[in-house]
Amino acid sequence: MPPSMVRRPLAAIARDLRDGRITSEQLVEEALDRIADPDGEGSRAFLTVYPDGARAAARAVDAMRREGMTISPLAGIPISVKEAFDVAGSAMHFGSKVYADGPKASRDAAVLRRIRAAGMVIVGRTNLPEFAFSTAGLNPHYGTPRNPYDRATGRIPGGSSSGAVVSVTDGMAAIALASDTGGSIRVPAALCGVTGFKPTARRVPLQGAGSLAKLLDSAGPIGHTVTCCAMLDAALRDEDCAWDSADVPPVGRLRFGVLRNYVTDDMDDAVAAAYERALAKLRDVGATLIDVTFPDVAKVVHANAKGGMQAAESFARHRHLIPQRAAEFDPRILARVMRGEGMTAADYLDTLRERAEVVEAFARLMRDYDALLLPTVPIVAPPLTRFEGDDAFFHKTQMALLKSAGLINFVDGCAVTLPCHAPGTAPVGLSLAAAGDSDAALLRTALAVEKLLRADVG
């Protein structure tokens, strides 16, 4: 892939825009060209593209800069938006055929209003599995974008933010707005070798966002660096986007818990090697790493045994469509939705009770550490061909991908995934997690770790 103005960290793009070395119109044209490339992944990564609106927005930002107006550092930078957020005048398909003719939104989702207020240019809405209900990233209705690693083989991108991650890796957007209910930001970021930030669920407003499980849903960025994620997170919170990274702790003074039960079971050799190598680098510079277990994970497993909050809420939300339109659903997603049919009100209340206990236990665990370290996913991205006609493999892979990332949603935490693989090898993610509402401190901790790891990452 040729050099790109778009496929770079936001801070570098913002400097070049500020200093006049590039224009927003140039950035947007490059992004649109990559989306439209017939040999690329644009047709599978995007469900909707806004070429005319994006060009007009870019020209407006360039005109403001020429006039010397003070505008956001992010103004004029192309961004993709997962098709899980309302756009005024458009229907939200939510990755499904059954909502293709649904009502059009009367206004933008809250996060889109903030993105537009920051002057960012929305180039389009990205693909996702039906109802955002799969971490594998497959969509039989609209196609599945291929992971940038080993395109010849054709591997899964991860989900549910499948189109979002490929829009970033392929330079179709500088950063992506995505959602995360059980790993949907971190799983694709890890499998595709970029950075993702899942904030505490209540950190960013979710009005106008499609929901999978309201207590677990969150909205956040997929980008190239921690600073990219922090800058967009600031915009989503309606704060200053010029994120100050000066107050980053020396990594040698940090104290980490290394989770050694449940999430490290059944790691494949490539993930285990990359993960242990990253831990060794932290030890080598003096960081304190202490192996820990989290016995309450048994409650997480029990609470999700019947499908969890996702299945219960998905069935409640879509049950009116199933009798007449079941054949239009992705059958694998329908099977997950139908698990909610067997859940009782008592089951749901038990889940809420167990979750409250686990959230409290996790907060106690994290009092002693700057972050918890764990592998983002235990496997590297499998080939798409492995899923053809093999529902058992799909469900096994789905559970493996959910294991680590979904745990953090359940404990009401926040997390960042960083690439930690060796150059030329399959992407692997290292997750740093913390208790809810520790987002700002976690981002700074992640930036310190990123500086240590980045020189060695492929």
Q: How many CB atoms within 10 Å of residue 91?
A: 16
Q: In one letter, which amino acid is 8?
A: R
Q: Which residues pair with 431 in a beta bridge?
A: 374, 417
The tally of CA atoms less than 13 A away on the side-chain side of residue 215 is 17
Catalytic site includes residue 438: no
Which one is catalytic: 96, 184, 211, 438?
184
DSSP-derived secondary structure letter, 251: G
Across 221-254, b (16+ Cβ under 10 Å) vs e yields bbbbbbbbbbbbbbbbbeeebebeeeebeebeeb
Q: Is 199 in contact with 428 (CB distance < 8 Å)?
A: no
Phi, psi angles (nearest 5°) of residue 442 = -65, -40
Q: Give strand pairing partners of 414.
A: 434
Please report, as a single letter, which amino acid is at residue 385: T
Catalytic residue among 82, 198, 299, 403: 82
DSSP string, 352-414: HHHHHHHHHHHHHHHTT-SEEEEES-SSPPPBGGGGTT-HHHHHHHHHHHHHHHHHHHHTT-E
Nearest by Cα to 222 from 278, 270, 281, 172:
172
Q: Which of 160, 167, 314, 431 is catalytic?
A: 160
- Please indicate whether residue 134 is annotated as part of the active site: no
Copy the structure tokens of residue 322. Answer: 């199933």
Q: Are 394 and 331 in contact (CB under 8 A)?
A: no
- 314 belongs to the catalytic site: no
What are the percentages of helix, strand and coil residues in the chain, rounded to 5? 45, 15, 45
CB 181 within 8 A of CB 199: no
Residues with a catalytic annotation lie at 82, 160, 184
